[in-house]
Amino acid sequence: MNSVLIAIILIPIIEIYLFIKIGGQIGAFNTISLIFVTAIIGLIYARYEGLNTLRSGFSQLIKNETPAFEIISGAAIAFAALLLIIPGFLTDIFGFILIFPVTRKILFKKFSKKFNNETKIKKPYIEGEFEDIEENDERKL
């Protein structure tokens, strides 16, 4: 079965289960308040981290470097903000994991190891073509 389809089915089931369990422990009003508080705090912090990432990206561009980490980090922050907007405790946990820079770097390092092995095949030479030019040729400088 497709993993996306399984996620679409399982995530709401887990969220409903967590709503019932946590709501039974702390009450319905406190559960709803907690959902709103985590969404508001998460979005404020996502905005802060997004601006920091944007600032870091511009400083990389000024140094004439590619801001690859900042681009990926910005996309992760946007996805984390989406997860924090969606009501639920499981999505909030994953959203907060993606928003904090320390955990985001750990996740990026873990996933980048898979891709680095495939893409870092370096050749010990430079490929190119050449053509012999005679002494009398007009193309010779």
Packed helices 101-119 and 89-99: angle between N→C axes, nearest 10 degrees = 70
Candidates 48, 141, 45, 38; CA nearest to 93 is 38
Query: Residue 61 domain-assigned?
Result: yes
Burial label for 16, CB within 10 Å (0-12, 13-18, 19+), is exposed
pLDDT per position as a tens digit, 79-128: 999 999 888 999 999 999 999 989 988 988 888 776 665 555 566 777 77
Domain of residue 47: give its range: 39-113
Q: With contact defined as beta carbons under 8 Å apart, do 98 and 80 qualify?
A: yes
Q: With contact defined as beta carbons under 8 Å apart, do 24 and 74 qualify?
A: no
Query: Residue 26 domain-assigned?
Result: no
Model's pTM, two decimal places?
0.72
What's the domain count of the chain? 1
Spell out the residues 6+ positions from residue 49 whose beta carbon is closer than 8 angstroms to its own: 77, 99, 101
Query: Residue 33 domain-assigned?
Result: no
Query: Residue 15 domain-assigned?
Result: no
pLDDT per position as a tens digit, 30-77: 999 999 999 999 889 999 999 999 999 999 899 988 888 888 999 999
Rounded Cα distance between 105 and 87, Å, is 25
Query: Residue 66 domain-assigned?
Result: yes
Query: Residue 137 domain-assigned?
Result: no
What's the pLDDT score for residue 115? 63
Structure tokens at 121: 């095949």
